[in-house]
Structures are given as structure tokens and as C-alpha cells.
Chains A and B, each alone.
Chain A
């Protein structure tokens, strides 16, 4: 029996509807199921610009989930000044052009404080918009120094060490491990090109003897690694946005340069799903720059809490910890300001926070703000050098060197 043209058209329409339905089923934002817990009174609205889709989704979703857990935990323990926190969420998809509308919308929904969980380009755009909406904001996982530098930085704050601190940490590590000749394997993304420009200009403590680039979608890096090997470096630094490129690089390095010490950026440590891509033992000995130190008792508490909430298999990352601390800082600021309704008081309250002990970094790491200091990290010890074990999972702090707080 032949299928008529009309039947075919109906089938096609039906399939299209099914596809649209499937698409609609996938995008539910779980953010707004928070309860007031034991808190009473008028809710305090917190606005979150969360990339639940788009380039920043890989880290924003992780942080967004922990922000929700932190808010719920605060509400369960009586709220802030007895009032519950409520979350309103919008998504700019890391697109700077959408930022003004997103922030305006959050303000119109009653937000008193903003959490900018988006890409750095979008947050840069947000800096100038914040003065228009007049609300203070924290970028929980931001690591680009310019985000909190003048101009337009009056209302924006960041917690963790920036990439400009990383060069100092690597140099300390290279000196401690007697590494003088460094080879670099990098991906071809613009993010890494910009990052390497800043990072390598600070690495005057070593001689860069080889530098190779591979496509972010590469299927093979054996040629690049063979060229690095020919340069006889003491160590190799892989700089990539993470994902399959990063693991392919380490699979290849483990096979072709197994005796050479390997370093990496933070991405590999914050992307537990990518560890499964590695060949057995391929990540062993890799040292990455992270922000979670299991020596920090507050980190241990947070890991325990998040595993209880998300399951024992959940891999806690720096994104989780920074998201958690961002919410705690919001709570602290509202309490110091005596309420959420005066943005000027709220901003001054943030600037009065000093010596806050966060859930990431080394045990003695602290966060402080002032009118001139919108980057919270006090010293380098918000960073930690972490080593991977034979099971392709981080096994703990690297014993050879850790960044000092006074650096």
C-alpha cells in the first residue's frame, strides 16, 4: 500500500510536534521549588542570572544547584533576620546583549541582591547595568580580575583568586619541583588564547621550550605530544577549557611522556564527568590548580552535606563551594545592613565583611572586602595544587608545594 502525500505530511507534522514536546520536556528549571522552611515574615528576594543553557551552562548549572541548596538550608535554619530567602531566576545564555533585560527583569521581580552566575563577557556587561538597577551583586565563580576592577565596579564583588594569581602559584610550584624547562599544550579556543596571554607573561620563572596547539575537537594529539617530547621539557602544562581535549591530551601524554611531570589549569578538577574519558591511570600524577583542599575542615563539612543531598557519588567542585559561600556572604551582608531594603547600606555592609572563612581554599584562607577591594581573596591560599591518583580522581593536596597565604 502506497503512502499518500497527505499521510506523509501528517506524519511529518506529528513527528515535529513530538520533537517540540521532547524539547519542552527537557528545559525545566528546578530553581523555584524552594520552601520558606522555618523562616517567617516577608521573603527577601534574591535574583540569579543563571546560564541554564548556553556556553556557561557547564558550570552555572552546578553552581545554581548549590545556590538553591544553600538558600534552602538557610531557610530551614530560620532564614535571614527571621525572614525567608526566595530565589528568582533568569538566563542570559552568556550573551552580553541579553544582560540588561535580564537584570531589569530580576529587579522588577523584587530582587534585593543579585548573583551573576554567567560567562565573563556577560558579567562585564552587567557591571555597567548594575549602576542603573542599583543593586549589589556577587559573581560566585568569576575568576577574571577585570570583572571587579574600575570602572563601574562599585556594586560588584567576586570571591576567588583570579587568573593573574595563577602564574605566581605555578612559579612557586616549578621552583619547588626544580622545573626549569616547560612545554605547553593548549587548545585553540579564544578563551585559552586570552588566558595564556596573561598566564604566560607571568611565567618568567621558567623557559618555555615548546608550545603546541590542538583543535578543541581533536581526535589525536600524538604529533603535538611528540614535538613536545623532542624539546625535552622538565614538565608539561596543559591549558584548555577542559572536556575531551584535556583528557585526550593526558591520555596521549601518559602514553608518550610518562616520566614527565604534568600540570593543568582548574578545568580538569571541576569537571568530574570528563575523568571517565581518561584511560586507566592516565591522570595519575597530574597536578591541577584547584580551590578545594580537603585539609580545610569547612570544605569537608560542605562535601558531607552535598553528598547527603546529591548522593554519595556526587563529586563536589570549587563551583559548589564558591556558590555556597556567595549565598553565605549575601546572608551576612543583609544581617549587617539590618535588612535588604536599602541598597546603599547593603553595599556598605558587604564592604565591611572581613576575615570570612570560606568553604574553599586552604584552611587559613579568608575573604575580605572594602570600598577599594572588591575581590574577596586574601592572598594566594584560596588556591591549592591538587594531585590526581591512580584511580583518575583527585587524591589530595600536592605534597611538594602549596601556595602560601601571604603571597
Chain B
């Protein structure tokens, strides 16, 4: 495990998985719900940015901004138009809402195919500078951005949750949705904020990761599964837990094929999922509440 290029790839993958998991985490904390449409929000971020740049010759920052707004709109529609009405009608039941969100996932993918086309589009790099050589390792600009902005995202989210009123409300609602409502806290507003912030983080992750291998309308499903697994591994006890989960998956994704060849990471992911679901479904970080 001395090949720095492999570590770099693992960290890059880890940051991407971690950001997706953080988006899951925020919705879970704020709404007590797994939003499986996180992957499609990320796909929209990356795909729409590329499409606007290629088709309309827009600047990459303008295109990225429009794409993020689109992902935010989809995130809001998911909460207000799908999850909330379904939960209301099912008496707060989780399963109907999960099924509805799964339908949203596929609907976004199909709609993206119609609008942006089905071929893989090249991801757009937000900054233009050449690859950097460090100790014999070639670092692409998109890798630097992915890692740097990934870490910044976690730091800012941690500060937001710890030091702002909205962040504290998010934790309070997450502790007990019912108690928070009885106390008169704005539960619905907090839920909506959780969806919006999650949509933003997912879209940003998609934009940052798309240059690695391109993005297409069906990328969202795989990304949803990777982000969910990273969240399950990391747990929900801390805002940093998704990053830990993401990094572990990144290491598995890169080092298992290196040592065991071919597609060993696929079996590795399966084993990890089975182990965590069976023996540690709460993940590595568990939230402790003082009595």
C-alpha cells in the first residue's frame, strides 16, 4: 500500500462517496428518512453542467450554478410534492415514502435522458490549470478540487450544525420529530432545509466528480447506492461519520482490485453491506444521548 497514486484515487473516491453520504445523513437527521434520490441530484449537477457548456457554450461557473439550482428545485419538489404528501396520507409511514422516492429516482433519470440525451458527457472542471506532479504522482485539477471542496463541505456543515440556530433545530428535530412538533418547533421548515442542503451537497459532489469518468443520465442509481452504503458504514452519530464511511468505501474500491484483481471491490462492497446490515446497522459512529 505504498503507491501514492492509489491512495490519491482512494481519497478522491472517498470524498465523493462521503459527500453523497453527508447528503443522506442530513435528510435522515432532519426528516428521519432515507432520500434515495440523492444520486440523481448529483447526476443532474454533473450532467446539466456539461450539457449547458457543450450545447449552449455557457461558462462553466454559470452552468454549474444553473445545475445546482435545478437540483435544489428537484430536492424541494421531492419533499413538498412526494415525500410529505405520501407520509401524510400513510400516517407517517416510511415504506410508502421510500417507494415513492425510488420512483422519483427513476423518473429523474428518465427525464434527464430525454432532456440531456443518453450518451456519456464529459465532466466540466471548474478551474483550468494543468496536472500537478508531486513525488511522481500525477494529480489532475478535478482531483484536487474534489478533495479540497469535499473537506470544506464537511467543515462548513459541521460548523453550521453546531453553531447556527437552524443547525441546532435540525438536530432537535432529528432527535424526536414528534417532541419537536409538540414544542412548537418549525418541523416542516427544518425538514425542507435539510432537503435543500442535501440537494446542494449532492449536486456539488456530482459536478466535482463528473470529470473523473464522465456522467450520463443513468449514473444516479449507482451513486445513490454508493452514498447509501457509505452512510450505513459511517453511521449517523456525527456529521463526520459519512466521511469515514466514504473513505472506507474508497479504500475498498481501489485497494481490493489492486491486491485481488479484477472486480474484487464488487464482492468487497457486498461483504461490507452484509456485515454492516447484519451486525452493525447503526454504523461506526453511534450517537450517544446523555440521560
Contacts and interface: CB of A to CB of B under 8 A. Distances in A.
A251 to B, nearest CB: 8
A43 to B, nearest CB: 34
Contact of A223 (B6, B130, B138): B6
Contacts of A214: 257, 262-263
Interface in B248-276: 253-258, 261-263, 265-266
Given A220-B13, A227-B258, A244-B213, 8 more contacts: A58-B119, A213-B262, A222-B254, A223-B9, A226-B6, A244-B214, A255-B138, A277-B214
Given A220-B9, A226-B5, A255-B131, A26 B262 contact: no
A226 B258 contact: yes
A8 interface: yes
Given A222-B254, A227-B261, A243-B120, A26 B114 contact: yes
Contacts of B130: 280
B3 A220 contact: no
Contacts of B257: 214, 223-224, 227
Given A215-B266, A248-B213, A276 B122 contact: yes
Interface in B27-60: 54
A220 B261 contact: no
A194 interface: no
Nearest to B216: A244
B212 interface: yes
A110 B64 CA distance: 52
Contacts of A215: 263, 266
A241 to B, nearest CB: 12
Interface in B73-121: 85, 110-111, 114, 119-121
A177 interface: no
Nearest to B117: A26
A274 B119 CA distance: 9
Tell me the dominant secondary structure on chain A's binding face.
helix
A392 B289 CA distance: 57
A23 B13 CA distance: 35
A244 B140 CA distance: 17
Interface of A: 8, 19, 22-23, 26, 58, 188, 212-215, 217-220, 222-224, 226-227, 243-244, 247-248, 255-256, 273-274, 276-277, 279-280
A220 B253 contact: yes
B254 A220 contact: yes
B261 A22 contact: no
Given A223-B258, A279-B131, A280-B130, A217 B222 contact: yes
24 contacts: A19-B110, A19-B111, A23-B114, A58-B119, A215-B263, A219-B209, A220-B13, A220-B213, A220-B254, A222-B9, A223-B9, A223-B254, A223-B255, A226-B3, A227-B257, A243-B119, A248-B214, A255-B131, A255-B140, A256-B138, A274-B120, A276-B54, A276-B121, A279-B131
B113 to A, nearest CB: 9
A244 B253 CA distance: 18
Contacts of B121: 276
B285 to A, nearest CB: 25
A277 B46 CA distance: 13
A262 B119 CA distance: 25
Nearest to B107: A19
A283 to B, nearest CB: 13
The CB with the most chain B CB atoms within 10 A, among A26, A226, A277, is that of: A277
A23 B140 CA distance: 38
Nearest to B262: A213
B10 to A, nearest CB: 8
A311 to B, nearest CB: 15
Contacts of A276: 54, 121-122
Contacts of B54: 276
A219 B13 contact: yes
B272 to A, nearest CB: 17
A380 B70 CA distance: 52
A279 B142 CA distance: 10
Nearest to B115: A22
A316 B255 CA distance: 40
B254 A212 contact: no
A319 to B, nearest CB: 15
B122 A277 contact: yes
Nearest to B118: A57
A227 B256 CA distance: 11
Task: Identify the 10 closest CB pairs spanning chains A and B, nearest first.
Answer: A223-B258, A223-B257, A222-B9, A255-B138, A244-B214, A277-B122, A276-B122, A244-B120, A248-B213, A277-B214
